[in-house]
Amino acid sequence: MWDIYKPTLFNGFFSSSLGYIGWVFYSVFFIRYIVGAIERSEDFITIFTYILISAAFFMITSFYSTYLMGSFYPISYAKIYQNLYSRLYKKARNVELRCFEDSSFYNKYTLAIDNAHDKLITLVNNIFGIICGGVAAIVVFITMYHIDKIAVLFVIFPIMGNFLFGYLTNKWTYKRDQDMAPYKRKIEYVNRVMHLSDYSKEMRLSRVYYLMKEKYIKAIDSIFEVIEQYVFKINLPLWFRNYFTFTIIFEGVLLYGAYRTIVSKTMMLSELAVLSSAMVSATWILINFTQNIMECIKQSLFIENLRTFMEYEEKLPEDYDGIMPDKEISTIEFRNVSFSYKEDSTPVVKNLSLIIKGNTNTALVGHNGAGKTTIIKLLFRLYDPTEGEILLNGKNIKEYNLKAYRKLFAAAFQDYKILALSIKENVMMRKVTAADEPIITYALKKAGIYDKIMSLPEKADTILTKEFDKKGSLLSGGEYQKIVVARAFAKDSLIKVFDEPSSALDPIAEYELYDSILKDSKDKTTIFISHRLSSVRNADMVYMLDDGEIIERGTHDQLLNNGGAYADMYNKQAKNYLAVESLKEVTL
> In the chain, what percentage of residues exceed pLDDT 70?
97
The 3-state DSSP class for residue 26 equals helix
Q: Give the largest Cα separation in the chain, rounded.
A: 119
Buried b (16+ CB within 10 A) or exposed e, 441-454: bebbebbbbbeebe
**pLDDT at residue 344 above 80?**
no
More confident residue, 158 or 328: 328
* Mean predicted lDDT score pLDDT of the chain: 85
pLDDT at 378: 92
CATH number for the domain running over 318-408+495-513+520-588: 3.40.50.300
Within 8 A by CB and 6+ apart from 39, the residues are: 268, 269, 270
- pLDDT tier, 148 (very low <50, low <70, confident <90, very high otherwise): confident
- pLDDT tier, 398 (very low <50, low <70, confident <90, very high otherwise): very high
More confident residue, 259 or 395: 395
pLDDT at 586: 46
Among 467, 465, 485, which Cα is nearest to 475's? Answer: 465
pLDDT at 588: 45
Q: What is the pLDDT of residues 176-200, one digit of tens each?
A: 888 888 888 888 888 878 876 667 7
Q: Please answer whether residues 464 and 413 qualify as being in contact, where contact means their C-beta atoms are separated by less than 8 angstroms.
A: no
Maximum average pLDDT range among 178-187, 230-239, 508-517:
230-239
**pLDDT at residue 583 above 60?**
no
More confident residue, 445 or 571: 445
The 3-state DSSP class for residue 461 equals helix
Choices 3.90.1150.110, 3.40.50.12160, 3.40.50.300, 3.90.850.10: CATH for 415-492: 3.40.50.300
Separation between Cα atoms, residue 194 and residue 216, nearest integer Å: 11
Q: How crowded is the C-beta side of 321, counted as CA atoms within 13 Å?
A: 0
Mean pLDDT over 477-504 rounds to: 86
Q: What is the pLDDT of residues 264-299, one digit of tens each?
A: 887 777 777 777 777 778 778 878 888 888 788 777
- pLDDT tier, 428 (very low <50, low <70, confident <90, very high otherwise): very high
Beta-strand relationship, 387-392 and 395-396? antiparallel
CATH 3.40.50.300 in the chain, residue ranges: 318-408+495-513+520-588, 415-492
Q: Please answer whether residues 12 and 128 qualify as being in contact, where contact means their C-beta atoms are separated by less than 8 angstroms.
A: yes
Beta-strand relationship, 361-365 and 541-546? parallel
Separation between Cα atoms, residue 26 and residue 358, nearest integer Å: 82
pTM (two decimals): 0.67
Q: Please answer whether residues 83 and 7 qualify as being in contact, where contact means their C-beta atoms are separated by less than 8 angstroms.
A: no
pLDDT at 577: 57
- Across 103-107, 319-323, 354-358, 527-531, least confident range: 103-107
Separation between Cα atoms, residue 275 and residue 254, nearest integer Å: 9
Q: Please answer whether residues 364 and 375 qualify as being in contact, where contact means their C-beta atoms are separated by less than 8 angstroms.
A: yes
**pLDDT at residue 585 above 60?**
no
Give the phi and the psi of residue 497 in degrees, each rounded to 5: -120, 130
pLDDT at 113: 79
The DSSP code sequence of 302-368 is HHHHHHHHHT---SS-TT---BPPPSS--EEEEEEEEE-SSTTSPPSEEEEEEEEETT-EEEEE-ST
- pLDDT tier, 161 (very low <50, low <70, confident <90, very high otherwise): confident
Separation between Cα atoms, residue 456 and residue 82, nearest integer Å: 35
The 3-state DSSP class for residue 149 equals coil
Q: Please answer whether residues 457 and 500 qualify as being in contact, where contact means their C-beta atoms are separated by less than 8 angstroms.
A: no
- Give Cα 331 distance to the centre of its chain: 39
Helix (H) or strand (E) holding 226: helix 208-242
**Side chain identity at 132, as an amino acid letter?**
C
pLDDT at 504: 67
The 3-state DSSP class for residue 468 equals coil
pLDDT at 99: 78
The one-character DSSP state at 438 is H
Alpha helices in 68-115 (DSSP H): 73-94, 97-100, 103-113
Q: Please answer whether residues 315 and 96 qualify as being in contact, where contact means their C-beta atoms are separated by less than 8 angstroms.
A: yes
Mean pLDDT over 218-223 rounds to: 93
- pLDDT tier, 311 (very low <50, low <70, confident <90, very high otherwise): confident
> In the chain, what percentage of residues exceed pLDDT 90?
29
More confident residue, 273 or 563: 563
Separation between Cα atoms, residue 356 and residue 365, nearest integer Å: 14
Q: Other CB atoms closer than 10 Å to residue 349's CB: what's the count?
A: 27
- pLDDT tier, 553 (very low <50, low <70, confident <90, very high otherwise): very high
**Side chain identity at 497, as an amino acid letter?**
V
pLDDT at 389: 94
**pLDDT at residue 575 above 90?**
no
Helix (H) or strand (E) holding 526: strand 525-530
Helix crossing, 116-147 with 300-310: angle to 10°? Answer: 140
Separation between Cα atoms, residue 213 and residue 215, nearest integer Å: 5
Q: Please answer whether residues 580 and 507 qualify as being in contact, where contact means their C-beta atoms are separated by less than 8 angstroms.
A: yes
